[in-house]
Amino acid sequence: MTEPAHIDFFNTNAESWYVEVILPLALPRNYTWHVPSEMVAAIQPGVRVEVVLGRNKKYAGIVKRLHQEKPAAFEPKDVLNVLDDAPIVYQQQLALWEWMAHYYLCSEGEVMQAALPTHFKLSSETILVFNEEAGEDFSNLDDEEFLVAEALSIRNQLRLTEIQQLLDASHVYPVIKRLLDKNLCFVWEELKQTYKEKRETFILLKPEYHEEDALAELMNNWSRAPKQLELLLAFLHLHKTEGEVTQPALLKKSGASAAQLKGLLEKGILIAEKRSVDRLHSVAREVNINFTLSEQQLEALNDLRNSLEQKAVCLLHGITSSGKTQVYVKMMEEAIKQGKQVLYMLPEIALTAQVIRRLQQYFGGYIVIYHSRFNPNERVELWNKVKSGEARIILGARSSLFLPFQNLGLVICDEEHDSSFKQQDPAPRYNARDAGIYLAQLFSARTILGSATPSLESYYNAQQGKYGLVELNQRYGDIALPEIMLVDTKKIQTPDKSKVIISPDLEKAITESILNNKQVILFQNRRGYSPYQVCQSCGWIPHCQQCDVSLTYHKIKHKLICHYCGTIYPTVSVCEACGNHHFTQQNFGTERIEETLQELFPKARIARMDIDAVKGKHAHDALIQLFEQQRIDILVGTQMVVKGLDFEHVALVGILDADAILGFADFRVNERGFQLMEQVSGRAGRKGDQGKVLIQVRNTGHPVLKYVQLHDYQSFVKAELESRHQFGYPPFSRMIQLRFRHKQPEVVAGAARQIADWLKPVFGAYLIGPAAPVVNRVRNQYLMELMIKLPKDLHLLQQCKDQIQLLTAHLHQQPPYKSVIVTPDIDPI
């Protein structure tokens, strides 16, 4: 790149400078602005500039490129202000955005929108909210900052356009940036406001007593208040064993009173600090790896190291409870010893206190956690820690890959098969596993993909030699994988011919487990009480008025709920079709199971884990903790119980309706079925004795069940790859899905047909559809889908993507189709 410093700024003949700026909008391309000469020196890629778009909309955009190519077609406007002294993202992030926009067919602005914390995205529509906690001490503000701060403290919130009326218009963005930096206000965020972070009082030792001598002297000269000394000792013990000490934990452990603690706080020996439990502030930055790897784990570690010397990506296929985490920990240790950063990605829902605690135990203050529930200020704080390199290990869900890493050495994608790594809506519809590999390459870093049930894509890549492959085939401690038995539900009669919920075999096994003081996990893919109510005489089923789906009955709320749009309806007691009063309930969800269990096992402690029961992260963590502490005997749940949890005392797992898992109409149904059942089974017998799994199913001959029973991933993959090959599905092809959405069914169908017709001459052989999806109306919008199944040919793939963009633009020029929404999804899941 040309170096602006070589230019003589005072030479009026100097050529003009321009910037390409990314705005947080879905614009078809980036626009260009002119840089006034006095700003040239301050501009570099990654800093934000304030620009006007259209007549008077203002935005803070990110500079992608500084150049001297004057746009031929128009006279660019001037940049108004430069907002940052230093870039807020590095070149690698800009490169990631560019790749993502290109690969997933969206704009860089949309990627920027997803990537940046709200605070960095100012526009005329932005609303600022006063930060009450900051207090009203405005003494360190300049006149303009004061003006805005005062107005904010009175009105609580202001639109940016209102602030523009308060100040000289040329100053607004820099002033707001400074107020945000000073923590005096937030950028208002829709939705996120409902999250109340959990705050707790943490107790810390005053820094001067971190010196052993000082502490020894303090204790040796302790004269009065022996209770306080006991309390201090309890604190030191807890600090050593647990790392962080909360006030309730300390009081409980020491048996001391709040007044005694207050005494120590007043003496200035201990400090109390209220803060969010997710933030791991004052843990010492030290590595403490206090375990040794088993022989197999050590071998896997060595293989992994060797493999990563040859290849950028390695797949670690380790069966459930083989100790993959332990192997990652060793790799992470090496990376941070070299001064590198580590990104450790997990599915959001697996990001529990259990995992965090485990890793924190080894890496203390080197670890930071990133998830969507942080408030805007916390996100900025973390952003800056990653950017400065202070944060070394970042544990997060998929969006953590957007953080401004500066020196990334290792990316770990755990549970890599999990479909939640794929973002569905809005754009960018990226897969964080694949994007993570790309990100790592930008830093010449390594990537480890880990799973007990790798996706077929990854396993195939490993087989082809594109990725390395390391297998870990033994559970830690040599515990056998659980024994899996099928319960044929065809053979069981229920009085009202309804579906079997708990078969006699399962009931017996549960009784035995509880007698042995062991715990039980029951899995069902459906939440609610029963998926639908059916009229006994005519078969009528209540449907959502806005979506083409039947409603789910939730007994606890006594309501019918649409799982697609969330609309809640009163229950029906009269059939709308025939007037009959009698309804039967078909199938069953987690609520119904919980109720049945309470009838069967009145003395057992039963809990339910699904999104209705555990709203919010803390409820989820709390439930996991109760289960860990054996204060729950039977846990009933959806997917939530599957994800990477490690419980010691689970002897029995029940899968209540395997037909529902295997009956899905999708080419990935077998893969998903295998993964789900193998992963749920993996929760049984992780420590101690071999566990047991009961699968209730009618279709006992389904081939996937055989592989699950034998825990035979390899044979499953072999068979499944053969059938994928035969039908030309991924990993032997690339899929692109186009989704069409419009209020009128004829219009959406016409638009989908039009695009298909246009694609036909070149891509005719690869088109599937257009067709209406199973649920063809959601929120009063009709849907159509067009699938394109392309051979693995990069050139063809690119040609197809280019065509899609062109044709979509073309479609929107046809009057009837102007407002049809077309969303491309690359590698859909």
Paired residues of 571 in beta bridges: none
Out of 547, 606, 624, 788, name the contact with Zn ion by CB under 5 A: 547
Q: How far is the CB of 100 from ligand ADP (least distance, A)?
A: 29
Q: Which is nearer to ligand ADP, 175 or 300 (CB)?
A: 300
Residues 486-545 that bind Zn ion (CB under 5 A): 535, 538, 540, 544
Residue of 228, 127, 124 whose CA lies nearest to 180: 127
Q: Which is nearer to ligand ADP, 714 or 798 (CB)?
A: 714
Name the binder of 578 from ligand ADP, Zn ion, none, CB < 5-8 A by kind: Zn ion
User: Sheet containing 81-82: which strands, arranged edge to edge?
Assistant: 31-35, 17-22, 57-67, 48-53, 81-82
Q: How far is the CB of 323 from ligand ADP (least distance, A)?
A: 3
Out of 79, 314, 386, 562, name the contact with Zn ion by CB under 5 A: 562
Cβ atoms within 10 Å, residue 68: 13
Q: How far is the CB of 774 from Zn ion (least distance, A)?
A: 14
Q: How far is the CB of 453 from ligand ADP (least distance, A)?
A: 11
CB 300 within 8 A of CB 318: yes
Residue of 379, 449, 437 whose CA lies nearest to 408: 437
Residue nearest to ligand ADP (CB): 323
Q: How far is the CB of 341 from ligand ADP (least distance, A)?
A: 22
Q: Which is nearer to ligand ADP, 111 or 355 (CB)?
A: 355
Binding mask 309-338 for ligand ADP (x = CB under 6 A): ---------x-xxxxxxx------------
Q: Which is nearer to ligand ADP, 326 or 587 (CB)?
A: 326
Cβ atoms within 10 Å, residue 113: 20
Q: How far is the CB of 410 from ligand ADP (least distance, A)?
A: 17
d(CA 60, CA 23): 7
d(CA 558, CA 560): 7
Name the binder of 547 from Zn ion, ligand ADP, none, CB < 5-8 A by kind: Zn ion
Q: Which is nearer to Zn ion, 205 or 565 (CB)?
A: 565
Residue of 486, 493, 543 whose CA lies nearest to 681: 486
Cis omega before residue 703 (within 30°)?
A: no
Q: How far is the CB of 454 from ligand ADP (least distance, A)?
A: 13
Out of 406, 511, 546, 823, name the contact with Zn ion by CB under 5 A: 546
Q: How far is the CB of 324 from ligand ADP (least distance, A)?
A: 4
Q: How far is the CB of 560 from Zn ion (least distance, A)?
A: 10
Binding mask 287-306 for ligand ADP (x = CB under 6 A): ----x-xx--x---------
Residue of 518, 517, 509 whose CA lies nearest to 656: 509
Beta strands in 572-718 (DSSP E): 583-586, 606-609, 634-637, 650-655, 692-697
What Cα–Cα distance (Å) separates residue 89 from each residue in 67, 734, 738? 19, 32, 32
Residues 475-504 that bind ligand ADP (CB under 6 A): 476
Name the binder of 544 from Zn ion, ligand ADP, none, CB < 5-8 A by kind: Zn ion
Residue of 33, 59, 30 whose CA lies nearest to 173: 59
Out of 306, 388, 580, 690, name the contact with Zn ion by CB under 5 A: 580
User: Sheet containing 650-655: which strands, arranged edge to edge?
Assistant: 483-488, 692-697, 650-655, 519-523, 634-637, 606-609
CB 16 within 8 A of CB 34: yes
Name the binder of 322 from ligand ADP, Zn ion, none, CB < 5-8 A by kind: ligand ADP
The contacts of residue 664 (CB under 8 Å, 6+ apart) are 672, 673
Q: How far is the CB of 326 from ligand ADP (least distance, A)?
A: 4
d(CA 18, CA 43): 10
Name the binder of 575 from ligand ADP, Zn ion, none, CB < 5-8 A by kind: Zn ion
Binding mask 168-207 for ligand ADP (x = CB under 6 A): ----------------------------------------
Q: How far is the CB of 692 from ligand ADP (least distance, A)?
A: 18
Size of the site for ligand ADP (CB under 6 A): 15
Name the binder of 260 from ligand ADP, Zn ion, none, CB < 5-8 A by kind: none
How far is Cα of residue 197 from the mean position of the Cα atoms in its chain? 17
CB 741 within 8 A of CB 426: no
Compute, in degrees rounded to 10, the torsion defined by CA atoms 809, 811, 815, 817.
-120
Q: Would you count residue 675 as binding ligand ADP (CB under 6 A)?
A: no
Name the binder of 609 from ligand ADP, Zn ion, none, CB < 5-8 A by kind: none
Name the binder of 564 from ligand ADP, Zn ion, none, CB < 5-8 A by kind: Zn ion
d(CA 694, CA 502): 11
User: 3-state SS string over 59-111?
Assistant: EEEEEEEEECCCCCCCCCCECCEECCCCCCCCHHHHHHHHHHHHHCCCCHHHH
Residues 676-705 that bind ligand ADP (CB under 6 A): 686
What Cα–Cα distance (Å) separates residue 607 from each residue in 54, 518, 597, 641? 56, 15, 10, 12
Residues in the chain: 829
d(CA 108, CA 112): 6
Name the binder of 411 from Zn ion, ligand ADP, none, CB < 5-8 A by kind: none
What Cα–Cα distance (Å) separates residue 180 from each residue in 132, 186, 377, 517, 654? 13, 7, 9, 54, 51
Name the binder of 320 from ligand ADP, Zn ion, none, CB < 5-8 A by kind: ligand ADP
Size of the site for Zn ion (CB under 5 A): 14
Name the binder of 577 from ligand ADP, Zn ion, none, CB < 5-8 A by kind: Zn ion
Q: How far is the CB of 354 from ligand ADP (least distance, A)?
A: 9
CB 653 within 8 A of CB 634: no
Out of 575, 636, 652, 749, name the contact with Zn ion by CB under 5 A: 575
Q: What is the CA radius of gyration of the chain?
A: 30
Q: How far is the CB of 587 from ligand ADP (least distance, A)?
A: 31
Cβ atoms within 10 Å, residue 526: 21
CB 553 within 8 A of CB 560: yes
Binding mask 451-480 for ligand ADP (x = CB under 6 A): -------------------------x----
Residues 619-648 that bind ligand ADP (CB under 6 A): 646
Which H/E stretch holds residue 791? strand 781-791
Q: How far is the CB of 572 from Zn ion (least distance, A)?
A: 10
Residues that bind Zn ion (CB under 5 A): 535, 538, 540, 544, 546-547, 562, 564-565, 567, 575, 577-578, 580
Residues that bind ligand ADP (CB under 6 A): 291, 293-294, 297, 318, 320-326, 476, 646, 686
